[in-house]
Amino acid sequence: MYIEVKGIQKKFGKKVALDNVSFGVDKGEYVVLLGPTGAGKTTLLRIIAGLENPTQGRVYVDGCDVTALEPEERNITYLSQTYALFPHMSILENVMFARIVKGFDKADARKVAEEFLMLTHLIERKNAYPAEMSGGMMQRVALARALASNSQLMLFDEPLRALDAKLRIMLRSELRKIAKDFKITVIHVTHDEDEAMEMGDRIIVLRRGKIIQDAKPSEIYLNPKTPFVANFVGGGNFFVFYVEKNTGNELILKDAHGRMLTLKKNTGMAEGTKVLVCVRAEHVALSREEVPNAFYGEIRHIHITDRFYEIDFRTEREYLHVKIPLVEKLDFEEGMQCWAHIRNAICFDATDLNIVDELEVE
């Protein structure tokens, strides 16, 4: 492992910000720390950078214990949320500075700085000063400066948060490509699930200072470890059912109102087990006729996003969120009564589960 974080605990007074956090990152890997506000993501990043001292635990980089080292001794580039640009330097000089302090000559520093200013769409503003830039522009300058630093280990704290949607999406793929081309090891903090899914080789989901799941993006989405992860990454419709019968290949569920749901699952759950079922919005189809695994109701609202028809569907007991790809023809209108067909679902044993806490939006 290139980076090892072992048993990190961080307390601020009586508040535990990080609770026994351990993980490793391979050289050249792009790892995303994902979680809601207050999960401990930035605190963890600052500990790795040397800007915070852990209450307990150690940090290793390339086999060396760096826990007691000053930030400048770790050869780590840390891009914070504050930008920290020099107000008396032009944008070009700010980006060049990262390379000059490492001993590169000015001609090299200028060439590299201009390349990264081109990449971040700021080359035409290279002679401007930070006071003349918007927040989004300053964030891009800070990003260009970090990339120009020639560091092999970079820590990014919400590096795209201040950018408009179109530019943010564009820079996601560019930033990941640069990291891979230059074999840079990255730990990237975000609370944006789409950003995490697109950019990470691995996603580490944090909640209340603890790691809830550490896996590849596809695993996080398809096999979330907890309802919190399922709700935070991808979201969905949640229902409480009980196991009516488990055939080994099929899970036959029944809710308190007598509705039945049959899923192709091999869960090992015994009859009578309380189950929390997560149905992704894109795993619901609309049908004019009654079909198995379908709830009857009314289409209350349809609106269009970038890739989907987003539909609010109301049964007699709850709302369902339905997503139909725009490439498909939608033969349904608001006010129409029809069936919402559940095609797939994720099941969690809810016997000892605090469902309200698991699904709390933080």
Query: pLDDT value at position 20?
Result: 96
Q: Tokens 């940090």: give the residue.
A: 59
Higher pLDDT, 60 or 99: 60
Segment 294-329, tens digit of pLDDT: 999 999 999 998 889 999 999 998 999 999 999 998
Task: Inform me whether the pLDDT recorded for 362 exceeds 80.
Answer: no
Contacts of 41 (CB under 8 A, 6+ apart): 33, 34, 35, 157, 189, 191, 206
Task: Inform me whether the pLDDT recorded for 133 exceeds 80.
Answer: yes
Higher pLDDT, 286 or 362: 286
Query: pLDDT value at position 22?
Result: 98
Picking from 147, 94, 156, 83, the residue whose alpha carbon sits closest to that of residue 125 is 94
CB-neighbour burial class of residue 294 (10 A; exposed 0-12, middle 13-18, buried 19+): buried
Query: pLDDT value at position 309?
Result: 96
Query: pLDDT value at position 171?
Result: 82
- What does the pLDDT average to over 191-216? 96
State the pairing for strand pair 64-65/260-263. Answer: unpaired
Segment 145-187, tens digit of pLDDT: 888 888 889 999 998 887 788 888 888 888 898 889 889 999 9
Query: pLDDT value at position 346?
Result: 95
Query: pLDDT value at position 163?
Result: 79
- What does the pLDDT average to over 10-24? 96
Segment 239-278, tens digit of pLDDT: 999 999 999 889 999 999 999 999 988 778 999 999 999 9
For the segment(s) 236-358, the CATH number from 2.40.50.140, 3.40.50.150, 2.70.98.50, 2.30.30.30 is 2.40.50.140
Spell out the domain ranges in the chain: 3-231, 236-358
Burial annotation 158-191 (CB, 10 A radius, 16+ → b, else e) = bbbbbbeeeebeebbeebbebbeeeebbbbbbbb
Helix (H, G, I), strand (E, B) or coil at 197: helix
CATH superfamily of this structure's domain 3-231: P-loop containing nucleotide triphosphate hydrolases (3.40.50.300)
